[in-house]
Amino acid sequence: MIAAREYARFLWRCFRVSFAGDWRYHLWMTALTVVALLGLNAYAKQLVHGLGTAGLSDQVSWGLYIANFTFLVGMAAAAVMLVIPVYIYRNQELHDLVIFGELLAVAAILMCLAFVTVDLGRPDRFSHLFRRFNFPISMLTWDVVVLNGYLLLNLHICGYLVYCAYRRRRPSKLFYIPFVFVAIVWAVSIHTVTAFLYVGLGGRPFWNSAIIAPRFLASAFAAGPAFLLVTLWVLDSYTDYVVPAKAFATLKNIVTVALLINMFLLVCEVFTEFYTDSAHGVSARYLFFGLHGYHALVPWIWSAIGLNTSALLILLLPLSRRPALRNLACLMLIVGIWIEKGMGLIVPAFIPSPLGEIVEYLPTWNETLVCLGIWAFGLLVFTVLVRVTIPVLAGRLTIDRLYSPDYTRRVPVVLDHAQPTPEVLP
């Protein structure tokens, strides 16, 4: 009972802290809130008028929502690329950073769940999933299981570590190390299962390829750590949190190798589709060169390839030790991979339709707003999680310290000076 009250107090204090920050923080949070609410407004319109408010059709029945979902599953899985070096290769530079990877995973999975929900025609019937669950036949039910399981795993791991730091207790290995190892396998599973969603459809030759799951993982392990690199750079530059220089180098290497593998797999895919010249490759022809005068996706895929290639070149040059260039490369490859998975993988599988009809897809403004809203919501969650975690890990927000939520009067009060200084996490 006391423990529960203590935990509630912890959550309440975190909530207060999440409102404290300098003007940049407030500007960022306000902007995200505004965009998230615009997205909510667009979704309310979609609820009233139906999915017809999106640019979808019976020919192209999945679009931006599922594309973003797929991309974000990858971002969530990428946390594992920080966990593996630390817990398997004992790379201690990254140790404290693992928790940021896991916080990113939490935010990304929440975004995934939001994207799947807005894609449903009847979200009001959500409970049918609990009442008649087509497991293990439908791959979608596997995805529901692995995504929610991954969310719980990560919530447990970072929640436990952060709360221990807050209570100034040394975390018991038994309570989190086994979960860390389960989460490593689980991270691979979420993106593999998501790939199987598409790969398992015999009627969609463009997806019906065994290379999709490895491609998903490679691109995720490039985009996720790239996002973390930029995040850590922001923390390092604008807060008092210090990121060890070696951590940047390790992450950059991970991104570079993953991007190289991703580009290689893309080349394998393109060769198979085009050299064999079979009917199998019609969607690929539409994607890369256009078909019968239709070429809406051509500019997208070539800009993705351009962005990824340039990012790779920058990362391979010694020049990229400069943070500005490294950040630029990271942002380029995040956008490049986002396009590759959305406009480059989800949409072309529907064009031409199974009966050979070509209907192109153009997202509507309302649909785009919903997507932007979910992204803003996810970034909001991620920012709050990071905002709260930093002072806790630094020992400035602990059970025995009052922390004023007002940034201008930043006044942690040490109640008991006899207390030892906060312990650093193992």
Partner 1 sequence: METAQDAAVSPSPENSRRSFLRSAVTIASGMSAFVAALSPLHELDADDVPTLEGFLQKHYKEMGPGEMQTALARIKREVDKRYSVDSVVRDVRPKEGVEFVYALNLSRCIGCRRCVHACVAENNQSRSPEIQYIRVLEMPRGTIDIERGNHHYDRPTVPDLLHYYMPVQCHQCANPPCVKVCPVEATWQESDGITVIDYDWCIGCRYCEAACPYWARRFNFVEPEIPKEQLNPEISYLSNRPRPKGVMEKCTFCLHRTREGKMPACLEACPVGARKFGNVLDPESEVAHILREKRVFVLKEDVGTLPRFFYYFDERYPRPEGEPALDPLHADEAKAR
CB–CB of 343/201 below 8 Å? no
- Specify whether the CB–CB gap between 400 and 419 falls below 8 A: yes
Nearer Cβ to partner 1 (174/413): 413
Task: Check: CB of residue 295 under 8 Å from CB of residue 359.
Answer: no
Q: Which stretch binds partner 1 (CB under 8 A): 40-48, 167-175, 219-227, 253-261?
A: 40-48
Q: Which of positions 227-256 make contact with partner 1 (CB under 8 A)? A: 238-240
The radius of gyration of the chain from alpha carbons, rounded to an integer in Å, stands at 23
Q: Compute the residue count for the chain.
A: 426
Backbone angles phi, psi at 402, to 5 degrees: -80, 140
For residue 338, the one-letter residue type is W
Instruction: Write out the binding residues for partner 1, residues 64-103 only, by CB under 8 A.
Output: none
Q: How far apart are CA 383 and CA 161, in angstroms?
A: 18
Q: Which is nearer to partner 1, 86 or 291 (CB)?
A: 291
Q: Is 319 in the site for partner 1 (CB under 8 A)?
A: no
User: In this structure, are residues 112 and 73 in contact, taking their beta carbons and an 8 Å threshold?
Assistant: yes
| Using rule CB under 8 A, residue 121 touches partner 1 | yes
DSSP label of 406:
-
The residue within the footprint of partner 1, chosen from 203, 293, 420, 426 (CB under 8 A), is: 203
Q: Which is nearer to partner 1, 224 or 281 (CB)?
A: 281
Binding of residue 352 to partner 1 (CB under 8 A): yes
Pick the binder of partner 1 from 12, 89, 126, 289 (CB under 8 A).
126
User: With respect to partner 1, which residue has the nearer C-beta, 60 or 307?
Assistant: 60
CB closer to partner 1, 242 vs 245: 242
Is residue 210 within the footprint of partner 1 (CB under 8 A)? no
Binding partner 1 by CB under 8 A: which of 132, 174, 277, 421?
Answer: 132
Rounded CA separation 204/138 (Å): 17
Q: Does 57 bind partner 1 (CB under 8 A)?
A: yes
Site for partner 1 in 137-176 (CB under 8 A): 137-141, 144
**Alpha carbon of 200 to those of 129, 137, 140, 186, 285: distances in Å?**
21, 11, 11, 20, 21
Q: Which part of the chain contacts partner 1 (CB under 8 A), choosing from 103-111, 306-314, 336-344, 408-416?
A: 408-416
Binding residues among 7-36 for partner 1 as defined by CB under 8 A: 19-22, 25, 33
Q: Are 378 and 110 in contact (CB under 8 A)?
A: yes
